[in-house]
Structure 1
Amino acid sequence: MTQLTHINASGEANMVDVSEKASTVREARAEALVHMLPETLQLIMSGQNSKGDVFATARIAGIQAAKRTWELIPLCHPLLLSKVEVQIEAIQAENMIRIESVCKLKGTTGVEMEALTATSVAALTIYDMCKAVQKDIVIGQIRLLEKTGGKSGDYKVGI
């Protein structure tokens, strides 16, 4: 098993030194699923939510969150992201919204946390905008789908 990289020899939390790592193109994709009642999903799809365009607001929130991950997650490095994309789709047959984010850069550390943060905050934004009509919306299956670049190699979830 690989060692935890954020723990030093004394067992203390520590920010990883990436100054000697090679700069490579790194990309990560993540997803989140938001389950709700059919009526709530229909309200979103019809544009009748009193707070405004749910998908547009969640998309912007996800992008902003990716750019600020280093402020939210201890020990994350501040990154100069070259791309952040958040796609949101309704899956009406399952009363669900699927959020997928892509983050990319050329640098010395990965962007998995940025992609996961983007999807998480987009999902939380959907909840916030719809909680007045449904309190028991379920945010689930936040996961890394794929990552490329870096010393540890590529990863793709087995779907």
Structure 2
Amino acid sequence: MENAVVLREWFDRVDAAGTGNITAPQLQSALAVGNLDFPLSVVQQMIRMYDFDRNGTMSFEEFLALNKFLQKVQTVFSSLERGRGFLSLEDVYEALIKLGFSLDSPAFYTVCESFDKSKKGMVRLDEFISICIFVQSARNLFSSFDTTKQGKVTLDFNQFVYCSAEAEYI
């Protein structure tokens, strides 16, 4: 309960206008204060993942859901980084498994290559969070088409275009 009070105080400081919602730029600035430097596109995806009322901003309740996700991701990162401040690609694979994401090698290495800014196989926390947000968003989009829950989908052209357009925002 004490954590909720701290989070509420933090949220209210970020919501300087007192609207009850925070925007992507406000969330981006607030995360940067905590040394989590994300491009605006990633912050916007964070909001989309938990924007239950689809208004483009984040309410306190939506923020709590995002915070729970980020805490889980950070805990897994911390359990594997061994004081180095980064994860090796093998560690990233293990971390994703711990978070419930199972990717085959081509998908895994393509995702890592997209988010490993230094291209040295050393993934920092912000990069790892970005990977997790991408994979979770992809899972959410895939699940919306996998109505039989068999892990396979068939898309017509319009659905493919929709997915491709959505992927631009993942």
Which TM-score tier does this pair reach, normalised by the shorter chain?
under 0.3
Greater share of strand: 1
TM-score (norm 2): 0.26
